[in-house]
Amino acid sequence: MTAPTAARLEVRGVTVRFAGLTALDDVSFTVEPGTVHALIGPNGAGKSTCFNVLSGVYRAAAGSVVYGGRELTGMAPHAVAGLGIARTFQNIVLTAGTVADNLMLGRHRLTRAGFAATALRLPGAVREQRRHRARAAEIAEFLGLESHFDQPVGALPYGVRKRVELARALCAEPGLLLLDEPVAGMNPAERLDMADTVAAIRAALGISILLVEHDMGMVMRLADTVTVLDFGRRIADGTPETVRQDPAVLHAYLGQQEAA
Amino acid sequence: MTRLAETLLDALALGSVYALVALGFTVVFKASGVMNFAHGSVLLLGGWVVAATHGAVGFPLAVLLGAAAAAAASGLLHLLTARGLRGAGAHAATILTIGADLALLTALGRAIGADYLATGDPWGSAVVRIGGVHVVEARLAGIAVSVALIGAVFAAFRWTRWGLAMRAASADEEAAALMGVRLGRMRLTAWCTAGALAAVAAVFLAAFPSPGLDRSTGQLALAAFPAAVLGGLDSAAGALVGSLAIGLAGALAAGYQDELGAFGEGLPGIAPYLVMVAVLLVRPSGLLGSKEAVRV
Amino acid sequence: MSELLTGRRAAAGAGVLVLLALPFYADGFWLQSGLFAMAAVLGAIGLGLLTGTAGQLSLGHSFFLAVGAYGYVWFSGGASGNGPSRLTGLGLPPLLALVLAIALAGAAGAVFSPIAGRLRGMYLGVATLALVFLGQHVMLNSRSVTGGFNGRPVEPMSLFGFSFSDASPRGLAVLGVPFGGLERLWYLGLALVAIGLFTARNLQQGRPGRALAALRDSGTAAAVMGVPVARYRCAAFTVSCLYAGAGGALTALAFTRVVPDHFGLALSIDFLAMIVIGGLGSVGGAAAAAVLVSLLPQVLTVYAERLPLIAPAGSDAFGATPGEAARCLYGAAVVLILTLAPDGLAGLARRYRPRPAPAAASTAPAPVPVSRTATRPSPGKEPTP
CA dihedral (A134, A136, A141, A147) positive or negative? negative
Among C225, C350, C372, C382, the strongest candidate for a mutation testing the A interface, having the largest count of A CBs within 10 A, is: C225
Instruction: Indicate yes or no: CB of A56 within 8 angstroms of CB of C368.
Output: no
At residue A42, the pLDDT reads 85
| Residue B270 pLDDT > 70 | yes
**How far apart are alpha carbons C23 and C183 in whole angstroms?**
5
Q: Cβ contacts (< 8 Å) between A58 and chain B: which residues?
A: 294
The H or E element containing residue A191 is helix A188-205
**How far apart are alpha carbons A104 and A168 in whole angstroms?**
8
Helix axes of C229-255 and C207-217: crossing angle, nearest 10 degrees: 110
Q: Cβ contacts (< 8 Å) between A91 and chain B: which residues?
A: 296
At residue B87, the pLDDT reads 47
Angle at A175 between CA A171 and CA A177, to 5 degrees: 70
At residue A1, the pLDDT reads 39
What residues of chain B have any CB closer than 8 angstroms to a CB in chain A?
294, 296
Residue A36 per-residue DSSP state: E
Are the C-beta atoms of residues C225 and C74 closer than 8 Å to each other?
Answer: no
A49 and chain B: CB distance < 8 Å anywhere? no
Residue C50 per-residue DSSP state: I
**How far apart are alpha carbons B220 and C263 in whole angstroms?**
19
Could you give the C-alpha distances from C314 to C295, C305, C311, C317, in angstroms and in order? 19, 13, 8, 9
Q: Cβ contacts (< 8 Å) between A87 and chain C: which residues?
A: 224
Residue B96 burial (C-beta neighbours within 10 Å; 0-12, 13-18, 19+)? buried
Nearest to C237 by CA among C111, C79, C68, C72: C111
Could you give the C-alpha distances from C355 to A157, A159, C5, C359, in angstroms and in order? 21, 26, 11, 11
Angle at C62 between CA B279 and CA C315, to 5 degrees: 125
At residue C315, the pLDDT reads 55
Please state the three-class secondary structure of A197-259 as a single string. HHHHHHHHHCCEEEEECCCHHHHHHHCCEEEEEECCEEEEEECHHHHHHCHHHHHHHHHHHHH
Instruction: Indicate yes or no: CB of A81 within 8 angstroms of CB of C225.
Output: yes
Instruction: Indicate yes or no: CB of A146 within 8 angstroms of CB of C376.
Output: no
Are the C-beta atoms of residues B86 and C278 closer than 8 Å to each other?
Answer: no
The answer to the question of residue C88 being in a domain is yes
| Amino acid making up residue B156 | A
What are the 10-residue block averages of pLDDT along chain A, 260 residues in total?
72 87 91 93 86 92 92 92 93 90 94 92 94 95 93 91 95 94 89 92 92 88 92 90 86 60
Which alpha helices (H) appear in chain C, and where do they start and end?
A: 2-21, 28-47, 61-76, 94-118, 121-141, 143-146, 181-205, 207-217, 219-224, 229-255, 265-278, 283-302, 322-340, 344-352
- Assign B86 to helix, strand or coil: coil
The H or E element containing residue A81 is helix A77-82
Are the C-beta atoms of residues C246 and C48 closer than 8 Å to each other?
Answer: no
**How far apart are alpha carbons A141 and A156 in whole angstroms?**
16
Q: Encode pLDDT of C265-319 as tens digits.
A: 889 989 998 998 888 888 999 999 999 999 988 888 888 777 766 666 555 555 6
Are the C-beta atoms of residues B295 and A89 closer than 8 Å to each other?
Answer: no
| Amino acid making up residue B77 | L
Helix axes of C121-141 and B224-231: crossing angle, nearest 10 degrees: 140
What domain range is C132 assigned to? 20-263
The answer to the question of residue C342 being in a domain is no
Q: Cβ contacts (< 8 Å) between C209 and chain A: which residues?
A: 118
Q: Cβ contacts (< 8 Å) between A206 and chain C: which residues?
A: 376-377
Q: Cβ contacts (< 8 Å) between A192 and chain C: which residues?
A: 385
Determine what percent of chain A falls in helix, strand and coil, rounding each to the nearest 5: 45, 25, 35
Instruction: Indicate yes or no: CB of B229 within 8 angstroms of CB of C328.
Output: no
Which alpha helices (H) appear in chain B, and where do they start and end?
A: 2-32, 39-57, 59-84, 92-112, 137-159, 161-171, 173-178, 183-206, 217-220, 224-231, 236-256, 267-282
Size of chain A in residues: 260
Are the C-beta atoms of residues C372 and A134 closer than 8 Å to each other?
Answer: no
A239 and chain C: CB distance < 8 Å anywhere? no
Nearest to C209 by CA among C196, C220, C199: C199
| Residue B70 pLDDT > 90 | yes
The interface pTM score, or ipTM, of the predicted complex is 0.90
Residue A172 per-residue DSSP state: T
CA dihedral (A184, A189, A195, A198) positive or negative? negative
Q: Cβ contacts (< 8 Å) between C342 and chain B: which residues?
A: 84, 87-89, 92
Angle at B244 between CA B243 and CA B247, to 5 degrees: 85
Cis? peptide before B209, omega within 30° of 0: yes
**How far apart are alpha carbons C129 and C134 in whole angstroms?**
9
Give the Cβ contact number of residue A228 at 10 Å: 24
Instruction: Indicate yes or no: CB of C137 within 8 angstroms of CB of B270.
Output: yes
**How far apart are alpha carbons A197 and A209 in whole angstroms?**
12
**How far apart are alpha carbons C119 and B87 in whole angstroms?**
24
From A58, which residue of chain B is nearest by alpha-carbon distance? Answer: B294
**How far apart are alpha carbons A74 and A55 in whole angstroms?**
10
Among A83, A118, A193, A207, the strongest candidate for a mutation testing the C interface, having the largest count of C CBs within 10 A, is: A118
- Assign A187 to helix, strand or coil: coil
The answer to the question of residue C200 being in a domain is yes
Which residues lie closer than 8 Å to C378 by C-beta, 6 or more apart? A138, A204, C369
At residue B30, the pLDDT reads 86
| Amino acid making up residue C354 | P
Q: Cβ contacts (< 8 Å) between C218 and chain A: which residues?
A: 93, 95
The answer to the question of residue C203 being in a domain is yes
Distance from CA of C227 to the nearest CA of A (A): 5
Q: Strand pairing of A176-180 and A208-212?
A: parallel
Distance from CA of A154 to the nearest CA of B (A): 11
φ and ψ at residue B86, rounded to 5 degrees: -70, 130
A77 and chain C: CB distance < 8 Å anywhere? yes
- The structural domain count of chain C equals 1
Instruction: Indicate yes or no: CB of B98 within 8 angstroms of CB of C272.
Output: yes
| pLDDT category of residue B188 using cuts at 50, 70 and 90 | very high
From C333, which residue of chain B is nearest by alpha-carbon distance? Answer: B99
From A93, which residue of chain B is nearest by alpha-carbon distance? Answer: B296
In terms of phi and psi (left: phi > 0; alpha: psi -120 to 50; beta: otherwise), the region of A173 is left
User: Taking residues B264-279, what's their average pLDDT?
Assistant: 81
Are the C-beta atoms of residues A204 and A15 closer than 8 Å to each other?
Answer: no
Instruction: Indicate yes or no: CB of B273 within 8 angstroms of CB of C133.
Output: yes
pLDDT in 10s for each residue of chain C, 385 residues: 556 667 778 888 888 888 888 888 888 889 999 999 999 999 999 999 999 899 888 999 999 999 999 999 999 988 887 777 788 888 899 999 999 999 999 999 999 888 887 787 778 888 898 999 999 988 988 888 888 888 888 888 888 777 787 777 777 777 777 777 788 899 999 999 999 999 999 999 999 999 999 998 888 899 999 999 989 999 999 999 999 999 999 999 998 889 999 998 889 989 998 998 888 888 999 999 999 999 988 888 888 777 766 666 555 555 667 777 888 888 888 888 887 777 788 887 877 765 554 443 333 333 333 333 333 333 433 333 3
The full set of domains in chain A, from first to last, is: 1-84+174-260 (3.40.50.300), 95-172 (no CATH)
The answer to the question of residue C248 being in a domain is yes
Q: How far is CA C288 from the centre of its chain?
A: 11
Distance from CA of C274 to the nearest CA of B (A): 11
- Please report how many Cα atoms fall inside a 13 Å half-sphere around the Cα of residue A94, on the Cβ side: 26
Q: Please report all neighbours of C, defined by 3+ CB atom pairs within 8 A.
A: A, B
Q: Cβ contacts (< 8 Å) between A94 and chain C: which residues?
A: 217, 221
Are the C-beta atoms of residues C243 and C43 closer than 8 Å to each other?
Answer: yes
A199 and chain B: CB distance < 8 Å anywhere? no
Give the Cβ contact number of residue A85 at 10 Å: 31
